[in-house]
């Protein structure tokens, strides 16, 4: 037990030291206004170089990816249907579908799927 605690402390210390070193190395030393601005042939830019990002469309993209991955999880259910116990198969399949349906209802109640925002 003592050896386990010593090795855990050594790992924690090593990880902390590596994180501090990487944070110090990765910092930008000089912040230059010219380097941070958009380049348009030497002229001042006509619009902002960084457009505001709509978090709503990002959330919809993440939801699409989650439900796209869901299909790749559901496909093995149908392939292994003949090789498994039908009771266990149906319990797992319906529990998986219930989790997905509850997730959709939760998103719907929080107006995440509303495009008019």
The confidence score (pLDDT) of residue 78 equals 77
The confidence score (pLDDT) of residue 103 equals 84
Question: Maximum Cα–Cα distance for the chain, whole Å?
Answer: 70
The confidence score (pLDDT) of residue 64 equals 83
The confidence score (pLDDT) of residue 44 equals 60
The confidence score (pLDDT) of residue 114 equals 75
Phi-psi region of 37 (alpha: psi -120 to 50; beta: other; left: phi over 0): beta
3-state secondary structure of 74: helix
Give the residue ranges of the chain where pLDDT is below 50.
Answer: none
Q: Can you give the pTM of this predicted structure?
A: 0.45
The confidence score (pLDDT) of residue 9 equals 93
The confidence score (pLDDT) of residue 41 equals 63
Domains of the chain in sequence order: 2-109 (1.20.58)
């Amino acid at each position: 037990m003592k050896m386990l605690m010593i090795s855990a402390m050594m790992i924690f210390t090593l990880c902390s030291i590596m994180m501090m070193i990487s944070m110090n190395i990765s910092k930008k030393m000089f912040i230059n206004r010219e380097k941070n601005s958009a380049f348009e042939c030497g002229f001042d830019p006509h619009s902002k170089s960084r457009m505001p990002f709509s978090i709503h469309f990002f959330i919809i993209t993440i939801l699409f990816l989650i439900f796209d991955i869901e299909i790749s999880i559901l496909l093995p259910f149908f392939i292994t249907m003949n090789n498994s116990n039908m009771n266990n198969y149906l319990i797992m399949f319906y529990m998986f579908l219930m989790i997905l349906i509850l997730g959709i209802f939760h998103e719907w109640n929080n107006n995440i799927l509303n495009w008019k925002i």
